[in-house]
Amino acid sequence: MDLYADNDELFAKLKEGNPGYDVIVPTNDYVERMLTANMLEPLDHSQIPNMANLDKPFQDAAFDPGRKHSVPYMWGTICVGWRKSKVDGTPDSWKVLYDDDKHAGKMSLLGDAQNVIGHALKYLGMSLNSKDPAEVKKAEELIIAQKKNIKVFADDNGQDLLASGEVDICQEWNGDILQVMEEDKDIGLVVPKEGGLLWQDCLCIPKGAPHPMNAHAFLNFILDGEVGAKIGEFINYATPNAAAKKHASKEYLSNTSIFPSDDIIAKCESAVYLGEDATRLYDEAWTRIQAA
């Protein structure tokens, strides 16, 4: 088993060929990107009978019609995590990270282009998936102006920086913040009022997988109801598995930091694969942000 910092690293690792992986875990837009690049094996649904356990909204996907190449693992949001003793009130707007200097030097954003630029776009009232160069430029300028106040663009470890006191407020995946909240009651979590990313991590079999039958057996195991409940409750992410909910605790199922309200979900967007031209647009903006 290998870990990776973000989807870009996963994509780069497999782009030139599969070095020996049977199962990978890309996020929804990267499932679509990998399909476009012919990097995923089609699934044999007859070997994954537990797909019947999935909640109805997860039985199909716009990024993978018919779930021919992916099964959902967990879903969730990107949120603001904060230390209650250091931040006044509930920071329920992206403004606190993108357009405010109250916590200069004690803030972190995520470390990848699409999420950082995407949530700047969301704060500015635009789509998380905008392909408009003028809109992306406005988001870039906002982030560059704010950069002097940002301690670090964190590669998925904002929760650790928050827990250690290196930052007072951060942008992070909701489950990661929930994990440190269990140990530290001074930490809070909120999905900002502008909404944000609604993501879905998926299990896929990459082209050239050396053990495809074992890979299918593993996917089926993960989709077992009891297994899904144990995983969801352990990592504090939302399960897409209806059978798992029958085995899960009321505390888990009623936690709105894990399962946000319908009002919040309605304001969120799923990331889509933007295509090569727009991906280049974001990458070039990210390069300028990093160099500023």
CATH number of the domain to which 257 belongs: 3.40.190.10
Residues 66 and 110 in one domain: no
Token digits of residue 170: 């951060």
Report whether pLDDT(194) > 90: yes
Token digits of residue 198: 């609604």
- What global pTM score does this model have? 0.85
Residues 157 and 274 in one domain: yes
1 part of a folded domain = no
Alpha helices in the chain (DSSP H): 7-15, 28-36, 95-98, 113-123, 133-146, 158-164, 174-181, 212-222, 225-235, 242-245, 250-253, 262-267, 276-291
Mean pLDDT of the chain: 95
Residues 88 and 46 in one domain: no
Per-residue pLDDT reduced to its tens digit, 29-78: 999 999 999 999 999 999 999 999 999 989 999 899 999 999 999 999 99
Residues 146 and 234 in one domain: no
For residues 198-210, average pLDDT: 97
pLDDT at residue 155 in the model: 83
Give yes or no for a contact between 54 and 40, defined as CB atoms under 8 angstroms apart. Answer: no
Token digits of residue 263: 């009002």
Residues 100 and 185 in one domain: yes
16 part of a folded domain = yes
Give yes or no for a contact between 206 and 21, defined as CB atoms under 8 angstroms apart. Answer: yes
Q: How confident is the model at residue 93 (pLDDT cuts 50, 70, 90)?
A: very high
83 part of a folded domain = yes
Give the single-character DSSP code of 143.
Answer: H
Q: How many domains, in total, are found in the chain?
A: 2
Residues 237 and 124 in one domain: no
Residues 157 and 44 in one domain: no
135 part of a folded domain = yes
pLDDT at residue 14 in the model: 96
